[in-house]
Amino acid sequence: MPRLVMKFGGTSVANLDRIRRVGKRVGVEVAKGYEVIVVVSAMSGKTNELVGWVGDAGGALYDAREYDAVVSSGENVTAGLLAMVLQSNGIDARSWQGWQVPVQTTSAHSSARIEDIPTDNFDAKFAAGMKVAVVAGFQGVSPEGRITTLGRGGSDTTAVAFAAAFGAERCDIYTDVDGVYTTDPRVSSKARKLDRIAFEEMLELASLGAKVLQTRSVELAMRYKVKLRVLSSFEEQSDNAGTLVCDEEDIMESNVVAGVAFVRDEAKMTLISVADRPGVSAAIFGPLAEAGVNVDMIVQNIAEDGRTDMTFSLPVDQVERAEKAVRDAMAREEINFHDLIADKDVSKVSVVGIGMRSHAGVAAQMFAALSAEGINIKVITTSEIKISVLIDRKYMELAVQALHDVFELEKG
């Protein structure tokens, strides 16, 4: 029988009424002849509550292994409740925690990566008549036999990994939005839902601030050619509902730019007058990596008199950690700089599209549109299918709207 993976996020299973609604939706797919693997998140708000309890009980230096044991419990509750709802609907269903499958992961607690999902258990249960396996997302088991979690949003990754392991026909990601949009509809009223989007475009949008899918889940889907469909659990569905994330070859024709993404709370940090010598970049960014600072855009100015300026962007809530890391490196005489300047009032805005590979002038259009609105660009980075800029945060929404208009993204 064909297999289908369905993933339901926290808002989709926020209470028993919504879990019952999910049960009916799963039943529709069972009636179509699918063997269904359902991956569930914790009820909306439950993971945050559990994380808060961990902080209260364990303090700032809590045991990461116990953190995973506590925080993973939210998904276990949802899985058990949904299995019971399906059983009451006459569907042979069973819940599975990560260790029972088992979802084999690395030992990196709170940020583990999936290494393997053996199929023997499910294959045997499906052969014996099970119609639905309800899997607690976001979790697995380490080689040491300890419960692990995959990081926030990890249920998306769980779902895609199961679809890849079991050769599922498709992986449906049910959320509180009805698909992937050209930009956030809350910022631009002209945002349009996309029928299809290429894996590469979705990966860039996810990494650049679009919160529809977790970045790692898109990476997995692209690697294993898993077709993803993003759709709403609160609307009536058809076979063409939502947005299909697929290979570029499965899209007949696409716009030059597929979407505009943004990260509101960025910061820009500049080391003034750094020694321009081999190894200086490693001396700067090594300590930042060790401190867990997520560096993004990097620009080095032209050297003068053996000195240069080094600028990079990072999340605004990591500025203090970054400042400490580079000042500690300076104290150890690993690097030397005259000053450290942090601008905590910037945002990153990006345009993404596979059509940019074969069309010239996208950067010129983007920069002209921002200039027309009086928006100054602080930093620019590019790749084959994206252009990102740092701008003053107060202009972020204006920039998104201007770029959405200039590339006519409201048109299908």
User: Two tokens at 300?
Assistant: 């080095």
DSSP secondary structure code for residue 181 in this structure: B
Please tell me the distance from the alpha carbon of residue 412 to that of residue 243, in angstroms, as a whole number. Answer: 13
CATH class of 3-176: alpha beta
139-141, strands of its sheet edge to edge: 114-116, 104-105, 139-141, 147-149
Q: Which residues are annotated as a binding site for substrate?
A: 47, 75
Task: Check if the beta carbon of residue 74 is closer than 8 Å to that of residue 97.
Answer: no
Phi and psi of 77, rounded to 5°? -65, -50
Sign, Cα dihedral of 330, 334, 338, 344:
negative
pTM (predicted TM-score): 0.82
| Rounded average pLDDT over 19-26 | 96
Binding residues: 7-10, 47, 75, 175-176, 181, 186, 211-212
Q: How high is the pLDDT of residue 252?
A: 67
CA dist 214 and 287 (Å) reads 27
Q: How far apart are CA 229 and CA 173, in angstroms?
A: 6
The annotation places the binding site for ATP at 7-10, 175-176, 181, 186, 211-212
For residue 19, pLDDT over 70 is answered with: yes
238 pLDDT band, cuts 50/70/90, is: low
Instruction: Take residue 86 and report the two structure tokens written for it.
Output: 């399906």
Which residues is 260 bridged to in the sheet? 351
Residues 94 and 133: beta-carbon distance below 8 Å: yes
- Which tokens sit at 192? 């349009």
Which pLDDT score is estimated for 241? 82
Residue type, 8: F
Q: Is the pLDDT assigned to residue 250 strictly greater than 80? A: no
**In angstroms, how far is CA 359 from the centroid of its own chain?**
28
Domain segments of the chain: what residues? 3-176, 260-406
pLDDT, residue 373, reads 96
Give the mean pLDDT of the chain: 92
Q: How many CB atoms lie within 10 A of CB 398?
A: 16
**CA neighbor of 223 nearest in space, from 231, 212, 215:** 215
pLDDT for the residue 278: 87
Reported as a pLDDT band with limits 50, 70 and 90, residue 41 is very high
Q: Which tens digit of pLDDT belongs to each residue from 125-156? A: 999 999 999 999 999 999 999 999 998 889 99
CATH architecture under which domain 260-406 falls = 2-Layer Sandwich (3.30)
